[in-house]
Amino acid sequence: MEKTIYQFKVKDIEGNSFDFADLKGKKIMIVNTASKCGLTGQYRGLQKLYDLHKDNGFVIV
């Protein structure tokens, strides 16, 4: 059986379990960045993007 992202469970930045199956049916943008590196200026743009599309089932992980 072919694996999809919905079969993965990971830990979030606070150590809590995160199940990608909870996002099934949504539009997902995965951002891979070091959250504490200090180079997080792009977060403002990502927040704007999320605010613009969140009502259409868009999420940023």
pLDDT tens-place values along the chain, 61 residues long: 788 999 999 998 899 999 999 999 999 999 887 767 776 778 889 999 999 999 999 999 9
User: The tokens 């009502």 sit on which residue?
Assistant: 55
Query: Can you tell me the distance from the alpha carbon of 50 to that of 37, in angstroms, rounded to the nearest whole number?
Result: 22
Of 30, 34, 37, 39, the catalytic one is 37
Strand 58-60 and strand 27-29: the pairing is: parallel
Is 34 a known active-site residue? no
pTM of the model: 0.75
- DSSP code at position 18: E
What rounded mean pLDDT belongs to the chain? 90
